[in-house]
């Protein structure tokens, strides 16, 4: 059978899918494939995707059927889709919801679709011990306390449960969104923000109330959280990434909801208050006096009858919070993130314990509607001097990365970018303090690190917002929750190895829509002919999946 020449996909029998970037229907194919496949490689001409159980189950939870996935592969494939792939996709899709958790009075029930599934799971080493009492051929009683660990075990066994066991009621809390902000500005929830909150809540039914909303930085994930709070109408615990993020949540809630100031408490290093809405950080929750000690602040999860727990930047959820979340399956749980990618591979635990992906919207779609800024991404490959190349060649493998990352030749290109953007609001961000301190001296620009006092950070951010500062240098504290809407140029001088989530978060720092519609520019500086190029290739994967392409600029030199 001749190939469909305009089509872009080649579906292979090992469940990988190749996307020919220059094919006439490439963009259409990427948009059809992205909801249920994971991008694993993205060189210039052919991108490689993989069909995985988790990518398919997340698509199912968001409403995409197995038949629709197979139809998308067939519509965009150059050649016939291998029969085993179509069968595997359909089989994996059908497994979602094949096991259902419900509640009968105080008892938790696990019901399997058929007897063969029940027998298989009853004999599974991880699942079986949690199926306490067999009622009949397909039903088991389960201890309510085992709800979370059972769901983890079911995902690992390949039979993700649809959890319809409902939620315990939290303490009631009257909260509504304002039609006009306290600041006087007009305020209207965008359609996709409302859609995301509705997809999470599902009108209060047992099919809603837990799951993850994926939106790019700058698209208003905080507002989605507030819409969910108003829909649930119960006390809420919000876990954020930093004290800066806590302050930002507080400002937004006070500005855009009817909650009074005394209803919002902060449980941080500065104070340990608890209120109807309580804001805290992952760092505080996971503090302990010694490695062998308990985590005393995890008790906050049980300090009140929370009706809703919001996990901001859920892809960063640390292991101790996973463990306590396994015991909190009777509470509504909303995860907010720009990317479901986790560098530790625990996406399955997010799926099982926070919930499946409930809502996702392509970044490019929001860009086309001007809800986030248009962004141009450029990878700049900078040479090293002969002496540094020799140092690199003689170094141990792990040490090579830092030698490449801190290449002094990058400073000249930072200056060149800054000079080419005289009206730009520029952020320079990197991993290594010595490199950033040197750039701060050269540019006479303030440097914000983890050691910068919170009060000083806020002053610098406020000066940047007012236009008094045009250049700001940030350590990795700048990866998250910094509200600098006018920043339109970001220069990444070094990063955390091949972290896809970090690349996405850093681009997100400049994606808030600009008042005059100007384009945002993201520059990633890497040292030529080093391992930094390899890591940079991996970092770009998530953004490539969102439709971004990187222009490669090679700086002449040795």
Domain that holds residue 230: 191-361
Q: Does residue 415 fall inside a structural domain?
A: yes
Domain final position from 147, 163, 179: 163
pLDDT block averages, 10 residues each, the chain of length 558: 78 95 92 90 83 94 93 96 96 94 90 95 95 93 94 95 93 94 90 95 90 90 97 96 92 96 95 96 94 92 95 91 92 92 85 92 85 92 96 93 95 94 93 95 94 92 92 90 85 88 87 85 95 89 80 84
The partner residues of 380 in beta bridges, in order of sequence, read: 525, 553
Q: Position of tokens 């859920």?
A: 314
- Both 129 and 86 in one domain: the answer is no
Distance from the first to the final alpha carbon of the chain: 50
Sign of the four-CA dihedral 66, 204, 365, 310: negative
CA 6 to chain centre: 33
Q: Are strands 99-104 and 107-112 parallel, antiparallel or unpaired?
A: antiparallel
Q: Are strands 210-214 and 357-360 parallel, antiparallel or unpaired?
A: parallel
Task: Give the phi and the psi of residue 275 in degrees, each rounded to 5.
Answer: -140, -175
- Both 395 and 349 in one domain: the answer is no
- Both 407 and 489 in one domain: the answer is yes
Domain final position from 56, 72, 95: 95
Of 379, 549, 550, 544, the closest CA to residue 49 belongs to: 544
**Which runs of consecutive H residues, i.e. helices, occur in 4-95?**
26-33, 53-61, 66-76, 83-95
The partner residues of 508 in beta bridges, in order of sequence, read: none
pLDDT of residue 481: 66
Q: Does residue 1 fall inside a structural domain?
A: no
- Both 375 and 468 in one domain: the answer is yes
Q: Does residue 170 fall inside a structural domain?
A: no
Order of strands, sheet of 99-104, starting from the edge strand that comes earlier in the sequence: 133-134, 139-142, 107-112, 99-104, 161-163
pLDDT of residue 3: 63
pLDDT of residue 1: 46
- Both 267 and 135 in one domain: the answer is no
Q: Can you tell me whether residue 513 is helix, strand or coil?
A: coil
Domain final position from 77, 95, 113: 95
- Both 416 and 520 in one domain: the answer is yes
Q: Does residue 186 fall inside a structural domain?
A: no
Element (H, E) at 378: strand 375-382
| Tally of structural domains, the chain | 4
Q: Which CATH number belongs to the domain containing residue 389 in this structure?
A: 3.40.50.300
């Amino acid at each position: 059978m001749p190939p469909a020449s305009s089509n872009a996909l080649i579906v292979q029998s090992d469940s990988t899918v190749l996307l020919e970037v220059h094919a006439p229907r490439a963009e259409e194919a990427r948009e059809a494939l992205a909801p249920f496949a994971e991008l694993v490689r993205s060189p210039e001409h052919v991108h490689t995707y993989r069909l995985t159980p988790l990518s398919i189950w997340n698509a199912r939870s968001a409403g995409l059927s197995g038949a629709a996935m197979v139809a998308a592969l067939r519509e965009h494939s150059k050649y016939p889709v291998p029969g085993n792939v179509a069968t595997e996709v359909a089989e994996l899709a059908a497994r979602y919801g094949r096991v259902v958790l419900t509640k009968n009075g105080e008892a938790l029930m696990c019901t399997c679709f058929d007897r063969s599934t029940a027998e298989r799971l009853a004999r599974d080493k991880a699942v079986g011990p949690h199926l306490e009492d067999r009622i009949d051929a397909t039903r088991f009683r389960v201890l309510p306390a085992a709800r979370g660990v059972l769901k983890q075990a079911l995902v690992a066994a390949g039979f993700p449960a649809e959890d319809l066991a409902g939620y315990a009621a939290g303490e009631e809390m009257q909260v509504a969104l304002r039609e006009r902000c306290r600041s006087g500005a007009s305020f209207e929830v965008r359609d996709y923000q409302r859609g995301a909150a509705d997809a999470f809540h599902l009108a209060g039914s047992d099919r809603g109330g837990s799951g993850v909303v994926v939106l790019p930085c700058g698209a208003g994930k905080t507002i989605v959280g507030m819409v969910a709070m108003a829909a649930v109408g119960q006390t809420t615990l919000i876990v954020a990434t930093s004290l800066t993020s806590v302050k930002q949540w507080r400002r937004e809630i006070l500005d855009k909801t009817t909650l009074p100031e005394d209803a919002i408490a902060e449980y941080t290093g500065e104070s340990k208050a608890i209120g109807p809405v309580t804001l805290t950080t992952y760092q505080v929750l996971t503090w302990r006096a010694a490695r062998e000690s308990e985590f005393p602040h995890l008790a906050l999860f049980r300090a009140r009858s929370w009706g809703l727990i919001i996990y901001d930047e859920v892809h960063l959820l640390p292991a101790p919070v996973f463990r306590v979340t396994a015991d909190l399956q009777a509470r509504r749980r909303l995860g907010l993130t720009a990317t479901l990618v986790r560098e530790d591979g625990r996406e399955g635990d997010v799926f099982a314990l926070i919930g499946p992906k409930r809502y996702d919207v392509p970044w490019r779609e929001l860009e086309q509607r001007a809800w986030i800024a248009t962004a141009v991404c450029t990878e700049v490959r900078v040479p090293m001097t002969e002496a540094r190349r020799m140092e690199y060649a003689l170094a141990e493998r792990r040490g090579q990365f830092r030698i490449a990352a801190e290449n002094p030749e990058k400073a000249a290109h930072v200056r060149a970018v800054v000079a080419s953007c005289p009206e730009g609001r520029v952020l320079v961000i990197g991993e290594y303090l010595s490199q950033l301190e040197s750039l701060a001296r050269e540019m006479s620009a303030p440097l914000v690190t983890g050691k910068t006092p919170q009060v000083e950070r806020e002053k610098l951010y406020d000066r940047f917002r007012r236009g008094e500062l045009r250049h700001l240098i940030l350590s990795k504290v700048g990866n998250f929750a910094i509200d600098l809407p006018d920043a339109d140029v970001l220069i990444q001088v070094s990063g955390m190895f091949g972290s896809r989530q970090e690349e996405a978060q850093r681009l997100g720092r400049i994606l808030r829509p600009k008042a005059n519609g100007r384009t945002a520019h993201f520059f990633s500086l890497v040292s030529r002919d080093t391992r930094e190029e390899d890591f940079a290739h991996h970092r770009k994967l998530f953004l490539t999946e969102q439709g971004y392409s990187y222009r490669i600029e090679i700086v002449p030199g040795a």
